[in-house]
Amino acid sequence: MHTYLYTKQPLTYDGRQLSPHWLYRQFDLLGDAIAAFIGPCHVDLSEMVDLEDVKAEAPIYSPLMLHCIAEFFHPDLEMAVYRQRLLIVTAKELLEELSGRRVQQTGDDLYLTRVDGTPGKLSVSIATASPTSTLIHTGFNIETEGTPVPIIGLTELGIDVPAFATELLRRYAAEVQDIWLARCKVRAVRE
């Protein structure tokens, strides 16, 4: 994947950004791509795609987040979840480097324990499919007021958000490309 973009243009994430060709319509990014932007997050139940959250009636709210939207023109939703996990792991590594603190990963969530021992949820994430592509949203909390669960934000960690975003996108695009090339230079085996 060669196409990634961090934009300073603030945008609210309300779930409708997780749709096919949104990156093309919004930013003119064509083909597999990932973009990041900063803005509030509130996703109503009607827009939520994780049915476990829908069943739990747990809408998503955060006053300010760094949002990443990726689109892959590949139909396999299971592979999209692997690609989502790779984004989470890449973010975890970078956050540990930048903050000097240990970040926990559970499935597609990142957590961090404050000095007072209270845990904080750092991110939300989902991967889904459209009729022509697969899509990922990952949001990292920046500010933390008024959220339904205890969260922690990039500000509290002293992270420079634009620098983090730019490096995260760069690394992720390089990893995705590296995995593709690994697939292209291995001979098959047989019985």
Q: Does position 100 bind its own copies by CB under 8 A? A: no
Of 137, 114, 165, residue with least CA distance to 60: 137
Q: Does position 27 bind its own copies by CB under 8 A? A: no
Give the chain's length.
191
Identity of the residue, 83 or 121, whose beta carbon is nearer to its own copies in the bound complex: 83
Rounded to an integer, what distance in angstroms lies between the CA atom of residue 118 and that of residue 5?
Answer: 34
Is the Cβ–Cβ distance between 136 and 69 less than 8 Å? yes
Q: Does position 24 bind its own copies by CB under 8 A? A: yes
Of 85, 143, 162, 167, the residue at the interface with its own copies (CB under 8 A) is: 85
Q: Does position 83 bind its own copies by CB under 8 A? A: yes
What is the pairing mode between strands 33-43 and 3-6?
A: parallel
Of 45, 77, 149, 163, the residue at the interface with its own copies (CB under 8 A) is: 77
Q: Does position 132 bind its own copies by CB under 8 A? A: yes
Of 42, 89, 111, 113, the residue at the interface with its own copies (CB under 8 A) is: 89
CB of 154 to its own copies, least distance (A): 22
Order of strands, sheet of 109-113, starting from the edge strand that comes earlier in the sequence = 104-106, 109-113, 119-121
Is the Cβ–Cβ distance between 123 and 106 less than 8 Å? no
Within residues 41-70, the interface with its own copies by CB under 8 A covers 49-52, 55
How many other CB atoms sit within 10 Å of the CB of residue 159? 19
CB of 83 to its own copies, least distance (A): 7
Sequence letter at residue 58: A
* Residue 70 in tokens: 């990726």
Binding residues (CB under 8 A) for its own copies: these are: 18-21, 24-25, 30-32, 49-52, 55, 73, 75-83, 85-86, 89, 93, 105, 107-108, 126-133, 135, 178-191
